[in-house]
Structure formats: structure tokens, C-alpha cells
Structure 1
């Protein structure tokens, strides 16, 4: 089950947990979600290599005890943290997600790949290129100029910059996922005419 943030989980209503459990057990009767099932669960298919790597990293962060599966408690803990956790808790979670090689620092390459993957999955058409956005983040918060962001630099830098905080929070906005759970696996009407594209949001 791994370490969970009790407060975030306690903030969930019984109805929310029931809906999440119903969706989870419908998609995954064994109670253990594999990476393949995780992609199906969120309607992620035909992804680019960068997007696939991002999804694999997200799966790894959800899989708190590193047994290769996401059980229901890991799933609830991760979703509730992202949806209802305090800013500092979310930033720690984001840092873990961006730190692909797990060395305790985020370098430009890791951040760039994650940003590209997030944009590909969400279908985002930002005016700023992924490269420029990555450079902007490093220019703002890489205080010692070593080309890597430590957890401390990341936490302090993002919390002091409202724009960065808003962008990072939006990049992991799982409200579509919650709406899918509440609508029994169907995305809201806005996406239905886009075919497969709508399922990747």
C-alpha cells in the first residue's frame, strides 16, 4: 500500500470513494491494476514514445510499494492527493513524477520530456513551445545555475511564483478522470465527437 497522506484520503466523501471503487473494480476485477490496464483505465492509446514514458512514470509514482501493480488504496491515495492535497504535498508528488531517473534532481531533459508528454496527452496547444517553457522554469527557479532542480529549489521556486504553480497544477489536472469515473467511464459530452482524441484528455 505504501505511504499515504491520511488527511487527503479523509477529505474524500463516502460517495466519491464508492464511485472510485465501483469504477476501479469494474475495470480491474482482480483489484490490482497493471500498467496495460492503467492505460486502458484512463483511455490512453496510440501514444507517442514520450507520452508512453510519461504514463509509465505516472504509473510508477502511483505504485507506492513498487510491486508492479496499483491496488485500490494506492489509487485512492494518489488521486486524492492530486485532487485534494495541500500545495506542498502536491509539489512533492509532482517532483517525484518529473524526477524520472529517481536521482533526487530534475534536469532539463527530464522536464522537457514530461512537458511534451503532458501536452501530447492533454491535446494542449500552448503558445509557448515546450523548450521555451522548460527554459523559463529553469531560469526562474534554478537558483544555483547547475542545470538541475533539487527538491528544495523546486518547492521554493514554484511556491513563490503563482504563474508556475498554476501551470504545474493545471498540467496534472485530473478533473476529466474524476468526471469519467462519475460518468461510468465516459468522458463528458465535450469530447464525444472527437473520437479517440477525446479519450486521451
Structure 2
């Protein structure tokens, strides 16, 4: 079932999700955070998400500790991926 859900966003069953496909299957509005989520899921930095990356990324939402949830949120809001949150990133997160 999860694989079928994944393939709904993959044109012609290519087996890869683009940002648009990711947004589409989850019914999200495209914004800086959906782009950041795709980058977090895209472990090989190929620009798309394969099924294994998709499953691994989803598993991050099942984090069992507060520290891991904070780490995930930090990575999400660190839009430029530099390891720190600057004023602009904090302002964007607060919106």
C-alpha cells in the first residue's frame, strides 16, 4: 500500500518523486518547507526521492524521543542547511 501511495506521485511509474509529486500525494501547498522536506528525504541529493528514501524519511516522523523531534524540526527550519538558524529562518518559522 505504501508503495502504491508513493507511485501516485511518480509520473509514469518512474519510481522517483519530484517536489511536485511529493506535494501532490500529501495534498500540501508548495512552500519553502515542502522544498526543505524534499531535500531532507533526498538522501543521495539526486533531486528526487526514491522509495527507500521515502520510507526512511517517513520513519523520521515516528521519532520516539523529544530530542529527535527537536533535531528534525531544526533541520526543517534550517533552510540553507548551514547548521544554524539565522534571523530570517526564525522569522519564516514563526509565520
Give the TM-score category using the shorter length: 0.7 to 0.9
Pairing 1:25-174 to 2, within 5 Å after superposition:
25-28=7-10, 29-45=13-29, 52-82=31-61, 84-87=62-65, 88-116=67-95
Confirm or deny: 8 A CA contact 2:9 2:22 kept in the other structure. Answer: no
TM-score, structure 2 as length reference: 0.82
For this pair of structures, how many residues does the alignment match? Answer: 92
Runs of 4+ residues over 4 Å off in structure 1: none
Residues 124-145 of structure 1 deviation map (CA, whole Å, 9 limit, x = unaligned): xxxxxxxxxxxxxxxxxxxxxx
How well do the aligned residues superpose, as a CA RMSD in angstroms? 1.7
The structure showing larger relative contact order (alpha-carbon pairs under 8 Å, at least 6 residues apart) is 1
TM-score, structure 1 as length reference: 0.42
Residues 72-130 of structure 1 deviation map (CA, whole Å, 9 limit, x = unaligned): 11111111111x222222322221111111221112320221342xxxxxxxxxxxxxx
Partner of 2:5: 23
Whole-Å Cα distance in 1 between the matches of residues 84 and 28 of structure 2?
Answer: 28
Confirm or deny: 8 A CA contact 1:54 1:114 kept in the other structure. Answer: no
Confirm or deny: 8 A CA contact 1:63 1:70 kept in the other structure. Answer: yes
Unaligned runs of 5+ in 2: none
Q: Which has the larger radius of gyration?
A: 1
